[in-house]
Amino acid sequence: MPNELHIVGIQADLFWENPSKNRSSFDEKINSLPANTDLIVLPEMFTTGFTMNPQKVAEKMDGPSITWMQKIALEKKVALTGSLVIEQNNNYYNRLVFVHPSGKTETYDKKHSFTLAGEDKVYTSGNQRLIVTYKGWKICPLICYDLRFPVWARNTENYDILIFMANWPVTRIKAWETLLKARAIENMSYVIGVNRTGIDKNNYEYSGNSLVVDYLGEELSSLQKSEVGIVTATISKANQNEIRKKLGFLNDQDAFKI
């Protein structure tokens, strides 16, 4: 049905600062997905892990990882999104790339740098949100630490889906799950949160706990601690619109801008 979207998030361990091995790993996982998949979400920095060594791994927008994403999107007629380390104009970005089935790309540079890890010292922050229109759905894709800042995620464009891709450590995983549901409830939006698993070279442990939540905060799909696999759900725009109209919460938002 045109008002339905089949979404998949891939939760996986990442090979440290090794884009080619990560691309091969995700190739295998993507090739096993159902043919009716509309949208695939990968974790934050899916080609490298959460590295603070961008000079070692950064790619250009015409580099091998973007080319790989476009190849998958074209061949499988699917949208694909994830963030990776990009160099542009002598700056490094934690950049989310959304690739349409046509190969067209749209980008978002992470707004909130994770200062606890020194991300602000090596990556340039973005200042523009991205709203993607795909198959009649409006999608707002954000990255990891952005999840803690509700004003930045605020639903002023009447979007239908919020995406958060992350390298979110196990020590704060309760906050991850709670905030994903909070963002869904306050914005009356579907939310998909995709986190990595494993232990990186800095000995930070990641448990995954990826999930899909509906516009009332109810879990539609989830993965348990350290499980490698997918979260998947078929979401309905008609159902969401019906509840939004019935409850009207978005009509009562405070009017302000940042």
Which residues are the active-site residues? 44, 110, 144
CB atoms within 10 A of CB 44: 26
Query: d(Cα 81, Cα 172) in Å, to the nearest integer?
Result: 24
Query: d(Cα 148, Cα 178) in Å, to the nearest integer?
Result: 10
Query: d(Cα 59, Cα 42) in Å, to the nearest integer?
Result: 17
Name the residue type at position 209. Answer: N
Angle between helices 19-31 and 64-76 (to 10 degrees): 10
- Identify whether the C-beta of residue 7 lies closer than 8 Å to the C-beta of residue 192: yes
Secondary structure (DSSP) of 111-130? SS--GGGTHHHHSPPP----
Query: d(Cα 215, Cα 195) in Å, to the nearest integer?
Result: 20
